[in-house]
Structure 1
Amino acid sequence: MKTFLLVTLLVATASATLPKIGLFHPRERIINGQDAADGQFPYQISYQWGLLGFYQHVCGGSIISPTWILTAGHCVTEVPALGEYKIIAGITGLNENNADKQEINVIDKIVHPNFNGGVGPNDVALLRLATPLEFNDRVQPISLPAADSEPSGDTVLSGWGSISTSEFPEMPNQLQTADLPLLSLDDCSAAIDALLEPGEENPLSAESNVCTGPLSGGTGACSGDSGGPLAQDDTVIGIVSWGFTPCGSEGAPSVYTKVSNFIDFINENVSDLPK
């Protein structure tokens, strides 16, 4: 519980003028996205935490097989241990009810063994479901990239995202989406260096991360997008990991776990990947 509160403080105390580094943590989301169309992202799930029968969205995730969800490591380590977890698939609105909606409990969580928590490399985890998803037009797995491939070009981000660029999120019920350009690792690292405090170490990793802009600000990932998919051509290339608050700040990139570097980790744990 202590780490969850620490991340909350990282968001709440961010300077209004100088962006501060921090995890994209639960309950704050995409900046200046637009409403997704019904069924536009059939691989997107809402990962929810519940206590005493009340549930709330805490992270995103991607369906990669009937019984496994790909998400961020900090979506496991930085949320409460007490309570229950489930995923909801087949929805565009968090309060939506439709014939394709599926709610399934999470019975196992596997965090990458080299993820040390907080802001850092190897921020990836797998969630095992109690029963298999039933695939239909609104519930589908997303493809995985080739091992060790390097993405480039434009991407699409989805998540239940805030429309606020301040420290105080304004959260829509509707799934949000934004088209974002990938940044080179050199440009991303330079942008991060420019925002760090003196003596603060740049946590970007060539093996572990990809980044998106625009560095002009105004659009980008934010906290509750954590664990959600950054995609190209229905392939998940990134997992929302960390960035700067306030989200969407000028000069501040969004940072994702590079999925292509974790294909072995996924294959070692997931036995029912689509062929």
Structure 2
Amino acid sequence: MVSAFAFCNALKAGASDPTLRVFGGRPAYPFEYPYVVRMEIQGKVKLQDSYKGLSIHVCTASVLSLVWTLTAGHCIDGADYMIAHHLLESELISLVIRYGSTENSFSAVIATVNHPTYKFINIKTSQLLRNDVGLLKTMPIKLDWYGKLSAMEYPSLMGQASVAVG
């Protein structure tokens, strides 16, 4: 079972408490975690008389159910900012989730929800993130299995083997 909240808290705590560190990790095998997906911005760029496809990686995310995907709140903010301020010189821009083993497996993001008390403060690189978690509502993503969340405190993970992705 993957505990994204616990993993995020353990990483945050590890920065201030040297006894709380993640170690012994390894890269995942292809398709080992089918619910780990790519959040990206897609669009079409006009080049002279034709259009070229555009795909920009934003963040990774974890699919929790047919239509709900978990990601970091700052990922939602970053994607929303790029789309809203037209930082990309393109047309037909959309936020999507790319998943599976083929290039054409993607699902449109139809709504984003950040944690109600999410905060991102950047006072000249002194970044402060609070409740950095968000949900993406998507068109249906059919997978063999989905990621799971569990409520736990990071000290309970000390000395225990666990799987965390992201």
Instruction: Calculate the TM-score normalised by the size of structure 2.
Output: 0.60
Distance 1:56 1:42 in 2: 20
Distance 1:102 1:150 in 2: 35
Distance 1:57 1:78 in 2: 11
User: Helix, strand or coil: the match of 2:76?
Assistant: helix
Query: Aligned to 1:44, which of 25, 28, 36?
Result: 36
Q: How does 1:121-270 map to 2 (within 5 A)?
A: 121-129=130-138, 131-136=139-144, 140-146=145-151, 149-151=152-154, 152=157, 153-158=160-165, 228=166
Question: What is the CA distance between 1:155 and its match in structure 2?
Answer: 4.0
Question: What is the CA distance between 1:154 and its match in structure 2?
Answer: 3.9
Distance 1:63 1:56 in 2: 19
The amino acid that maps onto 1:65 is S
Q: What's the CA shift string for 1:20-68, capped at 9, x where partnerless?
A: x9xxxxxxxxxxx755323211110000112323112210000111001
Unaligned runs of 5+ in 1: 1-20, 22-32, 92-96, 159-227, 229-275
Distance 1:107 1:156 in 2: 30
Q: Which residue of 2 aligns with 1:81?
A: 83
Verify: 1:104 aligned to 2:101, yes or no. no
Distance 1:154 1:49 in 2: 35
User: Helix, strand or coil: the match of 1:114?
Assistant: coil
Q: What's the CA shift string for 1:109-156, capped at 9, x where partnerless?
A: 001121122432110100010x211223xxx2111103xx22413444
Q: Is the 8 A contact 2:40 2:95 kept in 1?
A: yes
Q: Which residue of 2 aligns with 1:90?
A: 100
Q: Is the 8 A contact 1:77 1:117 kept in 2?
A: no
Distance 2:42 2:98 in 1: 13
Instruction: Calculate the TM-score normalised by the size of structure 1.
Output: 0.38
Q: What's the CA shift string for 1:78-137, capped at 9, x where partnerless?
A: 23134311001124xxxxx27xx63101010001121122432110100010x211223x
Distance 1:38 1:113 in 2: 35
Query: Aligned to 1:116, which of 106, 114, 119?
Result: 119
User: Helix, strand or coil: the match of 2:129?
Assistant: coil
The amino acid that maps onto 1:37 is Y
User: Helix, strand or coil: the match of 1:120?
Assistant: strand
The amino acid that maps onto 1:70 is L
Q: Is the 8 A contact 1:112 1:125 kept in 2?
A: yes
Q: Higher relative CO (CA 8 A, sep ≥ 6), structure 1 or 2?
A: 2
User: Helix, strand or coil: the match of 2:64?
Assistant: strand
Distance 1:63 1:120 in 2: 22
More strand by share: 2
